[in-house]
Structure 1
Amino acid sequence: MSLVVPALAWAHAEPVAQQAPGWTLSPGILIPLAFSLLLYVSGAARLFQRAHGGRGLLRRRAMLFAAGWLILAAAVVSPLHEAGESSFTLHMIEHEVLMLVAAPLLVLARPLETMLWAWPGPARKVIGGWVHSSALQSSWRFLSGAVTATLLQAAALWLWHGPILFELALAHDGWHIAQHLSFLISALLFWSAMFHNKRAHGGRGLAVLCLFATSVISGALGALMAFSQSPWYPRYAALGLAPFGLTPVEDQQLAGLLMWIPGGLVHAAAALILLAALLRDSTETISKTPRFPATDPSIRDAGI
């Protein structure tokens, strides 16, 4: 039924004139972006002054943060964001950039550790005490578990791409911001669980399984879109032709292919990288295991 209603809306809708997309300069987006950048730059500057041998690591993390922040800002501020209101394909590209490019780069940069140093000493102690509280630690262990993070990201993907919630996001800026926040936060939790829980929650082996599972979960949603013969979202259907001359159905099918194939490949590639690291760690562990020569008298006398 959810697919029939959008199809009927498309059949009876008149194409809407489209304007060239512009930059999104909403304070609700610009202020958090600017504040996060200010915190990171201030913290990184203070750490760099104090550090000596670890400056190379700080530089690498700063480069990762800069790349992730710039890509995130480009996705939500550049004309790509506004263009997504007239093309589901462009909207999907924005989501993929947020979740598959910006989020893992930001996670690898470990920005919260650096941002903490932007605050004065007394404030750092208060924040540090709060962060290390048992309640927050327990919540973080639960949320950053590989299985929990995988389920949260999958729920965000499937629920927000349902016609009802997606239409709300297209029609209201507040819901649109909530949609992107849920995508970004769930992706940050997911990639944190994949990259930073080497020993906890089952370690890298469980992360590999969750990455492969995510490629299947997101791929299944993309496949449904790619094979659908009717548009899911009335707002896109009412626009008539999407940019590049695509019909609403073709636009949706292309968006589904982007979620299905490139999205699945990113998760599969990350799984293979972690699997290689897991095998390397196993090999190193085996190589460090003590070996007793057969000529050792104690071994020979014991009958081994």
Structure 2
Amino acid sequence: MTDITHSDAGRLAPLWPLAAGSALLALLWLGPLPQMARASFSAHMVMHMGVVAVVAPLLAAGIVRAAPAFVAALPPGLAIVASVVEFAAIWTWHAPALHDAARVEPLFLVLEQGSFLAAGVLVWTSALGARAAGVCGLLLTSMHMVLLGALLLLSPRPLYACADVCSSTAALTPLADQQLGGALMLIIGGSAYLVGGLALLSSILRERAPIGEAG
């Protein structure tokens, strides 16, 4: 019995990213953030960045460990397509009408968060499988995260109907709340995908270095 238990533990240990990602996702979606996000753009952004920049790479790492053959068989071009899909999802859901709907309507919030999770997992999983193309996909995603974050941070006026959506007891003005959310996207989102792309590039170069030295 002890041998079987140790064997099972050994097989399950590499899958810890799936468990960690699932636990964090439950905390983000079932904790206080969804309610806080109704009254705070920055709280909404914390939930968004948690899903795409932390949960998604954890789940992708778990998928790679659980099904390496499946991930290796993914076409390299999928990493670029996935980055375009995530670009479309993020920019679409940050259009004022859709974003405001997600802040007040549970159905739209579920659709928004579900699309963020699906796009994020697709980007990270395809990047880890494609390697070289994955570097391009992650760096492209980092760029548009930074661009949107800067737009939100530097806008001279609120882009959303925060005066109607936010609580009258909100600690920040609508503009300050939006600016904080933009800074979170710029720093967390931009950095996560940039670091992921550079780490992937570094692993490729390390693998090729012995070949170059031998030549």
Query: Does TM, scored on the shorter chain, surpass 0.5?
Result: yes
- Equivalent residue for 1:45? none
98, 101, 107: which one aligns with 1:168: 101
Counterpart residue number, 1:283: 209
Corresponding letter in the other structure for 2:126: A
User: In structure 2, what is the equivalent of residue 103 of structure 1?
Assistant: 56
Q: 1:284 Cα shift?
A: 3.0
Q: 1:149 and 2:76 equivalent?
A: no
Structure 2 residue 134 is the aligned partner of structure 1 residue 232: no
Q: How many Å separate the matches in 2 of 1:222 and 1:190?
A: 19
Preserved CA contact (<8 Å) 1:64 1:106? yes
In the alignment, does 2:178 pair up with 1:252?
yes
Query: Which of these residues, 188, 195, 199, is aligned with residue 262 of structure 1?
Result: 188
Aligned-partner Cα distance in 2 for 1:219–1:262: 9
Match of 1:209 among 114, 136, 142: 136
TM-score (norm 2): 0.86
> CA deviation digits over 1:157-188, x for unaligned, max 9?
00000001112222321111111110000001
Asked whether the equivalents of residues 76 and 129 of structure 2 are also in contact (C-alpha less than 8 Å), the reply is no
Q: Cα–Cα, structure 1 residues 196 and 142, in superposed 2: closer, same or farther, change >3 Å?
A: closer
- The answer to whether the 8 Å contact 1:242/1:251 transfers is no
Aligned-partner Cα distance in 2 for 1:95–1:69? 15
Task: Give the AA of the match of 2:183.
Answer: L
> Which structure has the highest helix share of the two?
2
The CA deviation string for residues 185-237 of structure 1, in whole angstroms up to 9 with x for no partner, is 0001000111122xxxxxx2222122221111111111111011211221x22
Q: Within 2, Cα distance between the matches of 1:84 and 1:240?
A: 10
* Gap change, CA 1:142 and 1:85, over 3 Å in 2: farther
Whether 1:56 and 2:10 are equivalent positions in the alignment is: yes
- Name the amino acid aligned to 2:206: R
Q: Matches of 2:99 and 2:76 in 1, distance apart? A: 25
- Between Structure 1 and Structure 2, how many residues are aligned? 209
1:77-88 correspondence runs (5 A):
77-88=30-41
Per the normalisation by structure 1, the TM-score is 0.62
Distance change in 2, residues 1:144/1:99 (3 Å): farther
**Structure 2: tracts of 5 or more residues without a match:** none
Render the CA deviation track for 1:95-137: whole Å, top value 9, x for unaligned.
00011111111111128958xxxxxxxxxxxxxxxxx9xxxxx
Change (3 A) 1:259 1:175: same
Q: Which runs of 5+ in 1 are unaligned?
A: 1-47, 115-131, 133-139, 198-203, 290-304
Is contact 1:144-1:192 (8 Å) kept?
Answer: no
1:78 and 1:265 map into 2 onto residues whose CA distance is: 25
Alignment partner of 1:84: what SS?
A: helix
| Alignment check: 8 A CA contact 1:242 1:248 kept | no
Q: Give the conservation status (yes or no) of the 8 Å contact 1:65–1:111.
A: no
Tell me what 1:33 maps to: none
Q: Which runs of 4+ in 1 moved over 4 A?
A: 48-52, 111-114, 140-144
- In structure 1, distance between residues paired with 2:77 and 2:169: 39
Percent identity between matched residues is 31
Larger radius of gyration: 1
